[in-house]
Structure 1
Amino acid sequence: MDHRIDYIDRFEYNKVVEVWEASVRATHHFLKEEDIAYFKPLILNTYLDAVELRCFRDEHFKILGFIGVSDGNLQMLFIHPEHRGKSIGKTLLEYAINSLKVNKVDVNEQNEQAVGFYQHCSFETIGRSELDASGKPYPILHMELIK
């Protein structure tokens, strides 16, 4: 199998947003429908351009998961739910740490699977915010890589 980490072209942003939405619906059960509707155009039109993007592709070059990195912060890590549990997230995270110098991540406290994943990958919580970056009432854990 020719799985690989690759760059993402702007013409692929709609596919990236499809992965984001499927992932969020599978893992962010605390979000309301209007929250997803609020974030979706922001992801497409603003957030993807604000980060360094990489994706994990299958042998047919389909995007199965992606990361977004900015200033040592992992801003995004989303895996399509059909492909979770196959070490894609771990592969992308290791790439982000080793190649993009990631050492911090902010995680929704209510996304317990993600919190556990980052803890398992040597991140520890160093702070907490009551509100997310948009001012919505979804507490955020600030985590840092411990080596």
Structure 2
Amino acid sequence: MITIRARTVTDSPPLVALWERSVRASHHFLRETDIDALRTLVAEEGQHGLRGFIGLSDNHVEMLFIEAAARCGGIGQRLLDYAVALSGDLTLDVNEQNHQALGFYQHYGFVQTGRSEVDAQGNSFPLLHMQWQKR
């Protein structure tokens, strides 16, 4: 059973750990220093049973991370379904080199609307800008 709930203060340490496991499983292009810098950003934003999380800013998906061992179990789709129900038309940015995530978002119905040569921190990790198309 998948339960979706709002984040609590006690969720932060296990969410950061989940984020790091997910990043290491999918973002092979990141260097250790990149992960260290991003970990600090994620921590600013253990509880047993956490398998994934989504971060939204209005209708923009800021982050979506699924426990590596829990992938392909429907959690990402459920979180996006929840975000669509809350916000309607969704947008997001995905690292161009993260082929797993790109394929997942395309399968869900996102289409590319633009591209940036650098990420939000100015690093040379190109981003694809995407928007959800209603099914």
TM range (shorter): over 0.9
The corresponding residue for 1:113 is 100
What is the match of residue 66 of structure 1?
Answer: 53
- The alpha carbon displacement at 1:101 in A equals 3.1
Give yes or no for contact 2:89–2:133 (8 Å, CA) kept in 1: no
Alignment map for 1:1-147 (pairs within 5 Å): 2-45=1-44, 48=45, 62-147=49-134
Number of residue equivalences: 133
* 4+ residue runs over 3 A deviation: none
Contact 1:74 1:102 in 2 (8 A): no
TM-score, normalised by the number of residues in structure 1: 0.86
| TM-score of the pair, normalised by structure 2 | 0.94
Superposition RMSD in Å: 1.3
After superposition, give the CA deviation of every residue in 1:13-69 in whole Å (9 maximum; x if it has no partner): 011001100000000000000100111111112xx2xxxxxxxxxxx9511000000
Q: Identity across aligned pairs (percent)? A: 44
Structure 1: any 5+ residue segments left out of the alignment?
A: 49-59
> 1 or 2, which has the higher strand percentage?
1
Question: Residue type matched to 1:100 in 2?
Answer: S
**2:59/2:90 contact within 8 Å kept:** yes
* Structure 2 residue ranges without an equivalent (≥5): none
Q: Report if the CA contact (8 A) 2:53-2:79 is conserved.
A: yes
Q: Distance in 2 between matches of 1:118 and 1:82?
A: 19
